Amino acid sequence: MSAARIWFVVLHCVALGCGASALPPGPVDAPPLVPTAPAAWKEQRGSLEIARFDETWRDERRGRELPVRIWHPSSGDALPIVLFSHGLGGTRESYAHLGQHWASHGYVVVHVQHPGSDDSVWRGNPRPLESAQRAVSDLDNLIDRPHDISFALDELERRAESESWPLRARLDLSRVAVAGHSFGAYTALCVAGRDLVVPLGGARVSFHDARIDCAIAMSPQGKDRERANRSWERFATPVLHMTGTRDESPIRGDASPAERRIPFDTIANAEQYLLILEGAQHHAFGDSAVGLRGARNPAHEPLILSSSTAFLDAYLRGDAKARAWLRDGGFAARLGELGTFESKSPAAAAPADAGAEK
């Protein structure tokens, strides 16, 4: 293995699991509340009937088969798309509550399963933690995951023209979001424009797919060095970042929740949002009600669903009311003492804190 590849592995092994200190945000001014802002935004399941189907798509160029599960409205056309990347050890069946909720509000949600970092990591393995640690730092997984998302989008474009495909002529391929949790957040941010910088020589590796309009990153990763190493220098995609005050790495157990705000703090070329849920652990965004360190707070899920749906409405549908609800205090008022919410625009030097003081 070349020196550059070795450094590449080391860099991303650290970035995906190890803790890092993060500078606190500077002094900020809270924007005024909008009197007409709704009290909540689509917290409940939508009125649209939904359906699902499973397929396995083969990438001949890479010799790789990708299982997918697609949640979609039973009727309607010109439907925006959300590509979802699961966390380490997940499958296409994981995070169903997100796919179902977004589909009920008019989105086609494609859950992509990533071989090599899916349930094969732990299923039937007598040492699942060791296997997970190897998988999260495996160079093939780090490269394959972003390519899986771009291939899935290629395949949607191809299948949308097929006479026999269930969603033929019903997709709006000009409106595409990518979302993911944990390892899936890494995947989503890479496809949305994060550069991977190799320490030896500073070369940048890009997986950016220009077809992505916005991204949702749940439990994103970051390192202090990325504030200055150009990882986010060219990043120009709107992102909703989500984390919790107890969002520690379940793999190594040494990741500080503070590092998860580094991408939000560092990105300067697009509108960014950061939701920090009070007391939320790493599993708060997944399917399980109980994590390694106790049960999750059921009050968090409606906040995750509503903020993410408002974000999709704002940046895929161009809904000005949804954007105002996020930026001008509507969501912060709904959030109350359950967390903090920050936003910033490309022109802002510091984030605008719309959350409650703790």
pLDDT tens digit sequence for 151-203: 999 999 999 999 999 999 999 999 999 999 999 999 999 999 999 887 777 78
Range of the domain at 168: 3-19+43-320
- CATH number for the domain that contains residue 281: 3.40.50.1820
Single pTM value for the model: 0.85
Question: Does a structural domain hold residue 152?
Answer: yes
Q: How far apart are the C-alpha atoms of 92 and 67, rounded to whole Å?
A: 7
Question: Does a structural domain hold residue 25?
Answer: no
Question: Does a structural domain hold residue 30?
Answer: no
Identity at 185, one-letter amino acid code: A
Question: Does a structural domain hold residue 331?
Answer: no
Question: Does a structural domain hold residue 218?
Answer: yes
Q: How many domains does the chain have?
A: 1
Task: Convert the pLDDT of each residue in 332-356 to its tens digit.
Answer: 999 999 999 999 999 654 444 544 4
Question: Does a structural domain hold residue 26?
Answer: no
Calculate the alpha carbon distances from 126 to 227, 249, 264, 293 in Å. 39, 21, 38, 22
Q: How far apart are the C-alpha atoms of 69 and 99, rounded to whole Å?
A: 9
Identity at 306, one-letter amino acid code: S
Q: What is the DSSP string of 126-145?
A: S-HHHHHHHHHT-HHHHHHH
User: Residue 7: which pLDDT band, with cuts at 50, 70 and 90?
Assistant: very low
Question: Does a structural domain hold residue 35?
Answer: no
Contact present, 149 and 59 (Cβ < 8 Å): no
Q: How far apart are the C-alpha atoms of 86 and 178, rounded to whole Å?
A: 11
* Ranges 5-14, 25-34, 72-81, most confident: 72-81
Q: How far apart are the C-alpha atoms of 16 and 50, rounded to whole Å?
A: 35
- From the number of C-beta atoms within 10 Å of its C-beta (0-12, 13-18, 19+), residue 154 rates as middle
Question: Does a structural domain hold residue 356?
Answer: no
Q: How far apart are the C-alpha atoms of 76 and 67, rounded to whole Å?
A: 25
pLDDT at 140 over 80: yes
Tokens in use for 185? 């957040």
Residues in the chain, how many?
358
